[in-house]
Amino acid sequence: MNLNDVHRGVRKNRARKRLGRGIGSGQGKTAGRGHKGQKSRAGTSASPIFQGGTATTVIKVPKRGFHNKWAIRIAAVNVAALEEHFAAGDEVTPDALVAKNLTKGRFDQLKMLGDGQLTKKLTVSAHRFSGSAKEKIEQAGGQVIVLPGPAPVVKNEKRAKKKPSPAAVQI
């Protein structure tokens, strides 16, 4: 095989098919659409899940589970990660953890967990702390700063039924 043989069969810009231009063109009469049926007509478009009028698989498959789009996403970081990635006297904030790739994806709150040992004095700012994490940070001489989170949702208590007004009672 020669290198100049490789490019012979390849067309860079293939000419478009000219449909419905007579029998001699090879795409005349039905223009490649076949005979009759919905797809042979002009202006047709069926939904991608359409299955000939029967109940589609999308409808037949049961829907299960629940996705709470209002749930607070919490990122968790262990104190062992702080030991590895921060020097003594550093300030640990959610932004600093994102910059060092210690948290993955989007999150609403940051929680410090107590797995591992901490020997460096750090100032750690987070929304939540486990008991062991708080203890280990303070034992190492560090400081714990609790950041304010979103306001808690307070559900309405059942209201007492209103007594009907005297004007409504008189009929």
For the four alpha carbons of 111, 115, 116 and 121, in that order, the dihedral sign comes to positive
pLDDT tens digit sequence for 118-141: 999 999 999 999 999 999 999 999
List phi, psi (to 5°) of 33: -95, -5
Is residue 2, in this structure, part of any structural domain at all? Answer: no
81: Cα separation from own chain's centroid: 25
pLDDT tens digit sequence for 36-59: 988 899 998 988 898 988 999 999
The whole domain housing 134 covers: 74-146
Decide if pLDDT at 158 tops 70. Answer: no
Is residue 80, in this structure, part of any structural domain at all? Answer: yes
How many structural domains comprise the chain? 1
Decide if pLDDT at 152 tops 70. Answer: no
CATH number, domain at 126? 3.100.10.10
List phi, psi (to 5°) of 59: -80, -35
Decide if pLDDT at 164 tops 70. Answer: no
Is residue 27, in this structure, part of any structural domain at all? Answer: no
Is residue 21, in this structure, part of any structural domain at all? Answer: no
Using a 10 angstrom Cβ sphere, with 0-12 exposed, 13-18 middle and 19 or more buried, the burial of residue 106 is exposed
Is residue 39, in this structure, part of any structural domain at all? Answer: no
Is residue 142, in this structure, part of any structural domain at all? Answer: yes
Is residue 140, in this structure, part of any structural domain at all? Answer: yes
Is residue 94, in this structure, part of any structural domain at all? Answer: yes
